[in-house]
Structure 1
Amino acid sequence: MLKFNKKTVAIAVALCLGASAPAIAKNVAGTTITDAGERVEGVTLKIENVETGLVRQLTSDDGDFRFPLLPAGQYILTASKDGYTDVVQEDIFVGLSGSVNVDLTMTLDNVERLEVVGSRISLVDVTTSSTGITVDQFTLEKVPVPRDLTGVALLTPGATQGDSAFGNVPSIGGASAAENAYYINGLNITNFRTGVGSSNPPFEMYESFEIKTGGYSAEYGRVTGSVINAKTKSGSNEFKWGVNVFWEPDALREDKPSNSLPGESLLQIDNSEDENEFAEMNIWASGAIVEDTLFFYALYNPRSDVFDFNGAQTQTGDGIRQQVTNQTDEDAFWAAKLDWYINDSNIIELTAFSDKSTIKTKRTQTLDGVDLTTPAPATGTINEGGTNLIAKYTGIINEDFSISALYGINETDRTISSDLDANPAIFRRFDSTGNFVRGGDFANFTVEVGDDKREVFRLDADYYVGDHSFRFGIDSETLTANANTINSGGVYYLIYVDDETDPANPTPYQVRRRNYSAGGEFELKNFAYYVQDAWQATDNLVINAGIRNDSFENKNGAGDTFVKLDNNWALRLGAVYDLTGDGDSKVWASYGRYYLPVAANTNIRLSGAETFIHEFREFTGFADPTLEIPNFDGAQTQADQVFANGDVPAPDEIVDASLDPMYSDEFILGYKFKLNEDWSLGVQATYRELATTIEDVAIDFGFNQYLEREFGSSCTECTGFHYYVLTNPGTDLTITTDPDANSDGPLPLDTYTIPASDLNYPESIRKYGAIDINATKAWDGVWFLDATYTWSHSWGNNEGYIRSDNGQDDAGLTTLFDQPGLLDGAYGDLPNDRRHSLKVFGSYQVTEELNVGVNLRWSTGRPQNAFGYHPTDEFAREYGSESFYAGGELSPRGSRGTTPSITSIDVTASYDIPINEDYDLTLRADIFNILNSDGVTEVDEIFDDEGADTALSAGIPDQNPNFGQATNWQTPRYVRFSASLRF
């Protein structure tokens, strides 16, 4: 039996304290002792859930007791023994993980008193070396927080807002925004195609959240950022129901600033007419179907989200063109949960929710502010979300051994379509600005038909022996991605327009036709087993040690394995030392290795049946003037570019045979102590390093150089862009191929190992260091406060899974390592580097009915770059303005300063109105970014004009007139009104 001697109880009040709060527990354990500290054995202990009536009972062994795997909720603990006065401990709150530790002091019954122990709040959890925060309903009711997982995660020290190109997602602990893992009731709901974001369950169904930022146990894997772990609400013996209404009116929503080119009156980014009206309602009910046995919770969530926004204005020969987009999402979400207490030792939980949505889009082109009838407005749909199911069994075999088993399905629709999908995609590209202007009559640039399905099975067990608490289990996922993608109409035309020679008469001169299609069914299998031990080595020292073994397998479009990474051992080691033995201070340290699987996006893009061909012809007019479909019968203007020919590539030709998995190492050191009954202080240092990265690299030049040196013959296939191979950049690479394209040339089909020195790629580097200083004032019935200052630095040559500086969510296949020249100057401050940040949130109870709260965030800006054409690497130059060069001069990563600092202050006020003894009404208003701060968050980092090909050939690239101009700003002020009626 694991022994505890701390007279502390982590109760719910502490859980509202954010970063300084102990992790919510799932076990209750402790010791029965006398006033003199001597153990009392043979004590009968009974713990009861006050909401569901669950009762468990045991007898203390040598004074020790433990109640494992308790369902979340509020409990009462009672201790009794003949000759002693009964002891009752109320307000024990159990949640997602960790332990509530309590000593019960037994008093002889000849002493006339009843003692209730453990009543003081524990501000320091001396059992865990993991870091992060816990956010429960108390916090959400007291503090203004956006109603989404990112809004909750951004309360965490070290969390920053990800790039807008990826939507509303966080970057945490220096990792890219695609390296977090999202769980709900134990089911992984992370987007496994790109790693960006997750399913979107109805927010009202959440009960509490854990955001694990580091030091997490071997139970968790497949993540190098943060684990965002959520638990849903459940029913109880008391029947309850309610209605919640939320409204964010456009009339009280400010617009982002607009932007214009220096010295010109033309608006390039026009946000002045944007509109967004959001409203939702939740109708919910919970209670007991069978008292003390079967409970339910159900939620129905109608929604309406209407968004109108303007595209960039572009000056053309006939006037100012602009695209106006309307998006409407009016699907209702739903959720349901059943809890079946078969008996006090066996529980089955069933959870289901739907986040299916169909976003209807309408895009209208305007000329000088007037809607154009030709092309007609383009309409389309974007399907997202799906049905999700979770079944979990928990069984208590005895007080020392328990098991849990989970089966879950996570589904997501990824179909984008419209009634104009038969019409080709058409854009014009103007030489003067490099801007792309939409033409033709199509709705969606790409037509995507697909869906994702995750099937999960995991088995976990807990075993307690002596001073050790073991947790071990298996974690298996089968992921299936169906993806079929083409350009609208099966072809994409790009018309090049000369508007510099004679601006009054723009002249089309070239057409590029893209033939693109990709698709297939792709399967991934992830499997892991682990063991974790919490060892109470001494009264003051806890050792947390674990080991996890991960295996990843990815299959191509033909069903063959093309990536298999087995037996990846990850050590998790932590130590916590209670400095004084009274539970009021601790020093802790941890080390962890975390592996990341290969994203399904890699299967789809690299190992599917993909056709990607560019053909170039002179412009000779329009075959269909109405749809603006150009002729394609002119003279060829440049060589075709064949990136993929439609075949499923052989795995040993596209994957390095010596490929190692992607992983990150982490080191944390911290100190935390209690100042008094209300205040605690803590400091924590974190260092993370991305030790190995998986990316696709073009090897043509280096491969040919190797073959000429070693075999005296050139590679027929090495065009510069033929061989894209998945590898660990900066290492030797082994593939099996025929460099002579299956001919009878001197180079046969064989296995070739190309040295890293020939490939000329640097190793991938990402490092992150941070120091967090936290002060917490516990809730005392009137107010609480949590404040954290973070100094952090993220540096290297690779952001990670995705790439923010060009908005590319092509996980594992970004352009960064596509050519060696693209890495010249790539080492520096990374996009998610925010050197200083301050987060303060708290609440004050003005009266019994009126509460006010605040959430303040301040951070320094993001590093700025200058991208241009590579002056010497002809292959890198084919990527356009993607190199770290400006005007032909090296411009290292992050050397152009930073964007301005960002400040946002959110406030809330709520008023409780007791209608009668059965009904309560709460009215609330939240104002986000109350000062309407409009700090710039992103700028145009393209230095060399994309239309500068002619000038570049003479060695004098033109400068992009938009360089350095703002392209995005922080979210402007908006207001959310809400009303909650509860029975």
Structure 2
Amino acid sequence: MNRALRRSALTVALGLCFASNVHAQSNTAGAVFGQAQAGDTVLVENPSTGFKREIRVGSDGSYRASALPTGNYRVTLQRADGTTSTRENVTVNVGTGTSVNFAAAAASGATTLDAVQVTAMAMVNPIDVSSVESTTILTAEQIAKIPVPRDVTSVALLAPGTVKGDAAFGNLASFGGASVAENAYFVNGFNITNSFKGLNFANIPFEAIGEQQIKTGGYGAEFGRALGGVVNLITKRGTNEFHAGGNIFYTPESLRGDGKSRYSPSGLLVEDNSRDKLGDETIASVWASGALVKDTLFGYALVQYGRESGIRNFGDNISVANDSETAKNPNWLVKLDWNINDANLLEFTGFSDKKESERDVFSNPQGQSVRQNYLGTVHDENGGENYVLKYTGYFTDTFTLSALYGTGEYKRNNYAVNAAGQRLVYDGNVSPDNATGIVGAQGCPLVTDGRPDAVAGLIPAYTSSCAFLTGADTTAHNLGLQDARDKREQFRIDAEWQLGAHLLRFGYDTDTFKSRDGEASEGGAAWRYVVRRDEEMVRRRVFQTGANVEVDSRAFYVEDNWSITDNFIAYVGLRWDSFENKNGEGQTYVKQDNQFGPRLGFSWDVNGDSTFKIFGNAGRYALPIASNVAIRGSSPSLYSQEYLYYDGVDPVTGAPINPHATGDARDALSYLNNEFGTGKDPRTVTSRNLDPQYQDEYILGFQAAITDNFSGGVRAIYRDLKRGIDDQCDYRILAEWADENGYAIDSYNPAFAFCHIYNPGSDLDIQIDIDADGTLEDVYIPADRIGPKAKRTYQALEFFAEGQLTDRFFLQGSYTWAKNKGNAEGGVKSDIGQDDTGVTQDFDYPELMIGSEGYLPNDRRHTLKLFGNYEFNDQWSAGANFLYQSGRPVNCFGVNPVDDDIGYGNSYFYCDGAVVPRGTAGRTSDIYNLDLNVAYRPSFAEGRLALKVDVFNVFNRQDALAVDESGEDSTGNSLRDITYLTPTVYQAPRAVRFMVQYNW
């Protein structure tokens, strides 16, 4: 009988019984709710901090303590007759509700339950019947048991429905078929997403993360500005008990697997990586936490230092430079919590994620695997400091208010120092009269040899001992600004109000994101030797940008969690987003007001005991235009190109000698996209009927308890991009309009922007000074003359399970079957590595979209994830992390045989003169990966000392993650037997990581 009583108590404590109360999602806190006798009082307190809330049970027998800081709580029922019942170790996680139902216990006759202390297993994530979201929560304790790289993306990739994005964009995840540029990231409620391109976010020291919440779909109206997923981080915090510690993670070069060299399918050595060294990596952290004033003021502080080094591109036979890099990460975090009194809390979070790197560059003659002279050093500084202040007030038992203010800075500084010690800095001054724009020493020109026989190694390539310094490991081959940076200022206010069966939440937030950015070719121009019309020529291309730009976002939301019955809740959320984008002159070029985003959902606790949940939701999600769009699209930029004859090649720089005009008008100087280096009138940049891009999402699923501590479920997901935003650059339709309306077009008018931001599939309604008379004309082009509508759909079935199979065996996993189809990936273009978020080459010309509909780069048909940990005894444990994933679609890009004057080279879904529809040229290899670890906590150290070894990619599998998809070069010569389908990125080789940690 006692065993049955304890099992019933555990079920009550772990189950999230709805009990005519509901929980609304929060981005920083959780809640405790449940049933008791009307008029009783419930005391919720955290013994570690002294924080407590006293809630009176309502007339309907329900109570709720909201906006609780995450942690372990004691919940005590104080009855009117003076008796009490207590639940110990009630865990509150971010964004979830924990039910403690005293009424259920009383009804069962458990009159002595107040003597029972319920302790939940740390690895159990109970079924949350109060939520309609698709969410995975991993605590620091869980993450420590899994062999996983210590970064936010790697942890996010453990969640169902996430796949690793293309390596061209760094270490990022794709959520539910969206591009890697469409996610949102938060720390303690502060938005840390880098809105410049959406391809970065501020990183807190990993050791400081207390919980990571991964929202893969169905998130409520409180969250917006994301079409993919939301990653929500909660930091560790101090308690009354003093704690301190330190650890070192060390990954030695000597235990890494060798990198794989790149060979074409025909056996041609494309990249010799046999002498590359990935280098050692060391990360050390020390921390301390405790009470500055007992039960009142708490602090947590951490300092982390990381260092890594390596040698890459050591003598690649296709590169013109190779490098050795050293990176340093001196980071810190401080978290302060002030319990002013039981009704008012104040929190402060400050952290730095600065990273400094130096890359020594050496010359490497093209076509030879030889390291030659030292050329110079490239310096990069990234990251900055972030500060967040948050207030929470519990004004009544039913009304809670919070307010947050935060600022953040992210530097993207870049400069180079050549072998003579001279600094090369781009000044950001965009003008045709500014020549190179490079201050200090004259840099080396970028020179590539695109002649088919040279690429194939049949003839010597034009080489250079003055290899391009700054672009040694980039695709842009440009020098950035020394003072490039991003700054964010955010304010938000959120309120929660319980009105009987309705839990209302509403809030407002503003977000100002300012960026400074620019780039230019190091040597002032980029040269490429080609065969054009059966003649050898050299192409000269000049590119310069530089501007200060801004995105202002604001949003208002309101949501209602309605308890229709004791075990059925309905969720209704409404959100209005507004976005304003400003160019380098501070002028508004896009303004979108009150994009409406409704959210609907339900959760049915079928059995009324949290053992079987059916849930569903439907929502609309909007995304602002990234601020990088204004750098070229609405600010001064210079982009010119011409084809020239030449008399020879400079043996040092590799640049052409005496380049001169061919006399053919098709080869003459042209300003691509009419970028003359002068300002653009914002009225001529954006279609006047532009609407925000948005996506609709539908989810239906269930989750059921398999055992007391293990659950599983299934959900079906459908996402549909209803409206996109991109740019189109087809000047021909403007010339046709001018001819039809009696205007003499002047395409070299600086006010005549070729590229315009619009909604693909919609009409273009733009103002243009089309005849250069100083007056803007109203130009209207119907959609059927521009190009297709942006399309992207995602269909998936997710099977998931998690919990404790035994007291010592924690297991979590998922299998996802998915299809990701359409004609546009989203903000970026993975199949060619283009990171111009929001303005990729998609939709520039209708010819580029011929054959574009098919399976998208993030289409991974099958994904299986399994991870967990087994404790052999109190000293030894082992963990595993397994991934299987099917390959991604492959294209064949080539020249459009009717492309006479667009100038997009081999950017079309054509090969050998015929259309090759998207994704029909095969798939990359399936991926298998197994990581293992073993941990030892010696008994003599009384739990203070921990030793661990992680082995990543145990079997050292190095399958191709991406391949070269260019079936032809830019002049139409076939690359099928040269470089086409050559792997460009492999799985990371085996690595071994050691950890030593001590706590006291």
The question of a shared fold, defined as TM-score above 0.5 by the shorter chain, is answered with yes
Is the 2:15–2:610 Cα contact (8 Å) retained in structure 1?
A: no
**Residue 971 of structure 1: aligned partner:** 988
Pick the aligned partner of 1:549 from 576, 579, 582.
Answer: 576
Q: Counterparts in 2 of 1:363-762, with a 5 A limit? A: 363-367=361-365, 368-373=368-373, 376-420=374-418, 421=424, 422-424=441-443, 425-432=445-452, 440=466, 442-444=468-470, 445-449=477-481, 450-489=484-523, 491-496=524-529, 510-621=537-648, 626-628=652-654, 630-631=656-657, 634-636=660-662, 638-643=667-672, 644-709=675-740, 711-713=741-743, 715-717=745-747, 723-742=754-773, 749-759=776-786, 761-762=787-788
Question: Cα 1:902–1:438, aligned 2, differ >3 Å: closer, same or farther?
Answer: farther
Give the alignment of 1:266-281 within 5 angstroms.
Answer: 266-281=269-284
Equivalent AA in structure 1 for residue 631 of structure 2? I
How far apart are residue 893 of structure 1 and its match?
0.2
- Contact kept, 8 Å, 1:271 with 1:309, in 2: the verdict is no
1:883 paired with 2:908, answer yes
1:123 equivalenced with 2:126 (yes/no): yes
Supply the AA of the counterpart residue of 2:254. A
Contact 2:811/2:868 (CA < 8 Å) preserved in 1? yes
For structure 2, the 5+ residue unaligned runs are 1-8, 17-24, 419-423, 425-440, 456-460, 471-476
Instruction: State how far apart, in whole Å, the 2-side matches of 1:243 and 1:626 are.
Output: 52
Amino acid at match of 2:40: V
Q: Unpaired runs of 5+ in structure 1? A: 13-20, 33-39, 316-320, 502-507, 952-956
Q: 1:599 to 1:390 in 2, by over 3 A?
A: same
SS in 2 for 1:97: coil
Aligned to 1:942: 966
2:161 counterpart letter in structure 1: G
CA distance in structure 2 between the partners assigned to 1:51 and 1:727 by the alignment: 55
How many angstroms apart in 2 are the aligned matches of 1:297 and 1:11? 31
Matches within 5 A, 1:262-301: 262=265, 266-301=269-304
AA paired with 1:603? A
> Is the deviation greater in 352-361 or in 324-333?
324-333
For 2:992 and 2:551, locate their aligned partners in 1 and report how far apart those are by CA, in whole Å: 43
Q: 1:513 to 1:874 in 2, by over 3 A?
A: closer
The equivalent residue for 1:29 is 33
> Contact 1:24–1:134 at 8 Å: present in 2 too?
no
1:158-197 to 2 correspondence within 5 Å?
158-197=161-200
Displacement of 1:780 after TM fit?
Answer: 4.0
Deviation at 1:698, TM superposition (A): 1.3
Q: How high is the sequence identity, in percent, across the aligned residues? A: 35
* Residue matched to 1:53: 50
Q: Deviations 1:552-611 (Å, cap 9, x if unpaired)?
A: 000111111000000101001101111122221111110010000000110112111111
- Superposed displacement of residue 115, structure 1: 4.9
Q: Could you tell me how far apart the structure 1 residues matched to 2:975 and 2:173 are?
A: 36
Alpha-carbon contact 1:24-1:94 (below 8 Å) kept: no
Of 134, 139, 144, which residue of structure 1 is paired with 2:137? 134
SS in 2 for 1:302: strand
What amino acid is the match of 1:641?
Answer: S
Offset of residue 265 of structure 1: 5.6
Aligned to 1:36: none
User: What secondary structure, in the 3-state scheme, does the structure 2 residue paired with 1:9 have?
Assistant: helix
Whether contact under 8 Å (1:868, 1:882) holds in the other structure is yes
CA 1:311–1:687 in 2, change beyond 3 Å: closer, same or farther? farther
Q: Does residue 768 in structure 1 map to residue 794 in structure 2?
A: yes
Report what 1:65 is aligned to: 63
Equivalent pair of 1:887/1:959 in contact (CA under 8 Å): no
Which amino acid is the alignment partner of residue 912 of structure 2? G
- Residue type at the aligned position of 1:640: L
The alpha carbon displacement at 1:189 in A equals 1.0
From the superposition, tell whether residues 513 and 843 of structure 1 become closer, same or farther in structure 2 (CA, over 3 Å). Answer: same
Contact 1:430 1:497 in 2 (8 A): yes
C-alpha offsets along residues 107-153 of structure 1, whole Å, 9 cap, x if unaligned?
Answer: 69996774548777773221111002001012112211110011111
Q: Distance in 1 between matches of 2:313 and 2:593?
A: 49
Structure 2 vs 1, CA of residues 111 and 903 (structure 1 numbering), >3 Å: closer, same or farther?
closer
2:266 matched to 1:236?
no
> d(CA) in 2 for partners of 1:110 and 1:328?
64
| Whole-angstrom CA distance in 1 between matches of 2:507 and 2:454 | 55
Give CA-to-partner distance per residue, 1:744-763, whole Å, 9 cap, x none.
Answer: xxxx631111111222x011
Matched, 1:811 2:811: no
Return closer, same or farther for 1:621/1:980 CA change in 2, 3 Å cut-off.
Answer: same
- The reply to whether residue 894 of structure 1 matches residue 919 of structure 2 is yes
**Between 228-237 and 609-618, the greater mean CA deviation after superposition:** 609-618
Contact 2:250 2:994 in 1 (8 A): yes
Query: Which residue of 792, 808, 811 corresponds with 1:785?
Result: 811
Q: Distance in 2 between matches of 1:165 and 1:755?
A: 36
Q: How does 1:863-882 map to 2 (within 5 A)?
A: 863-876=889-902, 878-882=903-907
Which structure 2 residues correspond to residues 296-375 of structure 1 after superposition, within 5 A?
Answer: 296-310=299-313, 313-314=316-317, 323-367=321-365, 368-373=368-373
- Change in Cα spacing, 1:6 to 1:532, as seen in structure 2 (3 Å) is farther
Q: What is the distance in 1 between the residues matched to 2:322 and 2:125? A: 55
Give, as a single letter, the amino acid of the residue that structure 2 aligns with 1:29. Answer: F
In the other structure, the counterpart of 2:436 is none
Q: Which residue of 2 aligns with 1:980?
A: 997
1:312–1:661 CA distance, 2 compared to 1 (3 A) = farther
Quote the RMSD (CA, aligned, Å): 2.8
Deviation at 1:708, TM superposition (A): 3.0
Compute the TM-score of the two structures, normalised by the length of structure 2.
0.89
Distance of aligned partners of 1:311 and 1:670 in 2 relative to their CA distance in 1, 3 Å threshold: farther
Q: Distance in 1 between matches of 2:595 and 2:208?
A: 36
User: For residues 944-968 of structure 1, what are the alpha-carbon distances to aligned partners after superposition, in whole Å with 9 as ceiling and x for unaligned?
Assistant: 13354xx6xxxxx564611122222
2 CA distance for matches of 1:549 and 1:23? 18
- 1:909 paired with 2:942, answer no
Which letter does structure 1 place at the counterpart of 2:824? N
TM superposition shift of 1:46: 1.6
Letter matched to residue 642 of structure 1: Y
CA deviation vs aligned residue, 1:384-415 (integer Å, no higher than 9, x gap): 10011111111111111111111111211011
The one-letter code matched in structure 1 to 2:610 is G
Distance 2:142 2:119 in 1: 21
Distance in 2 (CA, whole Å) between partners of 1:939 and 1:583 is 47
Partner Cα separation in structure 2 for residue 786 and residue 357 of structure 1: 34
CA distance in 2, matches of 1:443, 1:849: 52
- Three-state SS of the structure 2 residue aligned to 1:763 is coil
Residue 734 of structure 1, CA deviation: 0.6
Change beyond 3 A, Cα 1:119–1:195: same
Q: Measure, in 2, the Cα distance between the counterparts of 1:312 and 1:530.
A: 56
Distance, in Å, in 2 between the alignment partners of 1:719 and 1:557 is 20
| Alignment deviations for residues 228-261 of structure 1 (CA, whole Å, 9 cap, x no partner) | 0000011111111101100011111112321224
Is the 8 Å Cα contact of residues 687 and 764 (structure 2) preserved in structure 1?
yes
Shift of 1:783: 0.4
Q: Please tell me the residue identity of whatever aligns with 2:510.
A: S
Per-residue CA deviations over 1:914-964 (Å, capped at 9, x if unaligned) read 4445x710000111111111221111110013354xx6xxxxx56461112
- Where 1:603 maps in the other structure, the secondary structure is helix
Q: Which amino acid aligns with 2:700?
A: L
Q: Cα distance, 1:679 vs. partner? A: 2.8
Per the alignment, do residues 122 and 716 of structure 1 end up closer, same or farther by CA in structure 2, a change over 3 Å counting? closer
Letter paired with 2:926: S
Q: Deviations over 1:743-796 (max 9, x none)?
A: 8xxxx631111111222x011100000001123342642102122111000001
Shift of 1:61: 2.4
Q: Normalization by structure 1: what TM-score?
A: 0.91
- Partners of 2:111 and 2:495 lie apart in 1 by 43
